[in-house]
Structure 1
């Protein structure tokens, strides 16, 4: 009987462990990807206060951007159509586009940059480092040169320098580590990085090209996003947040929540529906697989969208939920409505308490 009891207890522990892992995975998939000081709700309110103080209430005066109206009906998934959509996002956010290079070959450029970094590492005669490095070139020199000749030389130069310095730091740490267990751990971490394609998991990036001998910036998007205009808009709105917040040195890009602030910047400028809807979506070609976009996650983006709507309603006599419900995915709509209901209830309770006679 004791043996059965122990077996049942072990089976129960396994079920609990599996449940906890599923809950953790759901938090990672749907929740914010970074730690938000004070918790998501307080962080959203504090950061919206900062954005309003820095940019005024004019972005809130404009109506939220609706996918059904913003994306042209004739969008055909071409690079030209996607670039026009990127420029439309610039115009809405009032971000000058004359110094921004939009492109849709991010994977190729990143592969070229990594291949360049690998060849530089070998050419600089750093034998001890090169012997440890597992970074691999995936492009022939002629392919890299052709991409540079096509106009991507500045992006390749900036990313190659970044790859090289990161690999030098990574391999130097391994070489200098004297504790064997710690060295093995560093090697395992490096192997995980080396085994992934350059830029793996990213669908867009922003680059400051001033160190690449060009007075401007670049917004590079993955070719995979071309077919989905909503993803193009969501990714572009986020990267334009970098253009403003990082490009004009308004926030420290090293702060832990810098990417989340950039997401909220896009929501503050009316693109909350896009970011919340695209936060979690099916992965093309992989049944039942999901991928994420942005750093607030679906939960954080939905709560931020609710806070955005609530502030607009407080500032002007507009509907708390304009024609948005039909534009929102079901899960996003439920989270947004739930958060709005909680905010309304909090205001009602505060009003009652303020009007209550003192004891």
Structure 2
């Protein structure tokens, strides 16, 4: 047995599970500092003036897992982040909406008289048009319309590339890549998404959450805080949504506005009685979110003489707490060294 090789594979697996899910220019620690500088420059220090949001205080005691309770919680996140909610639709049937959108895309593709594309495409409809129309009539037409157009254009691009490819090896690669999409359930691996409904000729935007998240208010808050980052950063064209770290910036936007505890705790779901863990939310990963929470707390401490971690130990999952406090300790030590080198004591 190659023990070194096995150890390296285990370390890689852990990094993929716990580390950032996208490349962060300059490394996670430097990227967090640079990005927090940009957020502070763009939005000021007011978000840092408010204390971190504690789950025990923010989630109502009477939360019952209903759509109305979840919607009220989403509106509460909007109010805290000072994001206008009058043109945001909050819905909680993401799996059904995505299935309807993909099915509508397949039906449109079959009706467009492109036999070459239809013959190659493996995109599958799981709902009839009557079922799609019924869901649209129930009030989900804007979300279905925007997602269906996105599904259709993506499939046309995939299938056209396969049709036009003449190299057998490259064509096999394209087919394998497409099959990974075709065989996955619509929206699998995601608990929420943000949609700009204006691209489909509708009014406003939408935050669509999975019904699976309703029973966990912390998941609702974390997902909503992230998607509201899209509302601000993408909706107002403050960053290019095509940049490689766009989703990570959106995670950090939520941390910057005080929701770091929610994001860090939700980054990895631990299954009781099992050694394995399941990634559930976020692009910074548990390590990146913990480091971002530490940087957020340290900056608040630099601005105001307040505790670096007010009331947080009881709110953080154990692994998140260990990582966050370790990073805070490193930042404090680095600041002390820098202060000594500059000849002034650290305040």
The TM-score with structure 1 as length reference comes to: 0.94
Structure 2 matches for 1:281-292, cutoff 5 A?
A: 281-282=269-270, 288-292=276-280
Matched, 1:269 2:219: no
Residues of 2 paired with 1:127 and 1:30: CA distance? Answer: 45
Tell me the alpha carbon deviations over residues 99-153 of structure 1, each in whole angstroms, 9 at most, x when there is no partner: 0000000000000000000011110011101100000000111110110001111
Residues 190 and 110 of structure 1, relative CA distance in 2, 3 Å threshold:
same
The answer to whether the 8 Å contact 1:206/1:219 transfers is: yes
The answer to whether the 8 Å contact 2:70/2:217 transfers is: yes
Residues 44 and 20 of structure 1, relative CA distance in 2, 3 Å threshold:
same
Structure 2 matches for 1:1-359, cutoff 5 A?
A: 11=1, 13=2, 15-282=3-270, 288-355=276-343
Deviation, 1:351, is 1.3
Residues of 1 paired with 2:261 and 2:47: CA distance? Answer: 15
The answer to whether the 8 Å contact 1:29/1:292 transfers is: no
Larger displacement relative to structure 2 (186-195 or 276-285): 276-285
Residues of 2 paired with 1:310 and 1:160: CA distance? Answer: 44
Structure 2 unaligned spans of 5+: none
The answer to whether the 8 Å contact 1:101/1:218 transfers is: yes
Instruction: Give the match's secondary structure for 1:326.
Output: coil
Deviation, 1:284, is 10
Residues 147 and 233 of structure 1, relative CA distance in 2, 3 Å threshold:
same
Tell me the alpha carbon deviations over residues 289-319 of structure 1, each in whole angstroms, 9 at most, x when there is no partner: 5122010000000000000000000000110
The answer to whether the 8 Å contact 2:105/2:149 transfers is: yes
Runs of at least 4 residues off by over 4 Å: 283-289
Larger displacement relative to structure 2 (250-259 or 207-216): 207-216
Residues 84 and 166 of structure 1, relative CA distance in 2, 3 Å threshold:
same
Deviation, 1:352, is 1.4
Deviation, 1:272, is 0.3
Residues 286 and 156 of structure 1, relative CA distance in 2, 3 Å threshold:
farther
The TM-score with structure 2 as length reference comes to: 0.97
Residues of 2 paired with 1:281 and 1:214: CA distance? Answer: 36
Residues of 2 paired with 1:262 and 1:298: CA distance? Answer: 15
Structure 1 unaligned spans of 5+: 1-10
Residues of 2 paired with 1:198 and 1:287: CA distance? Answer: 28
Residues 176 and 212 of structure 1, relative CA distance in 2, 3 Å threshold:
same
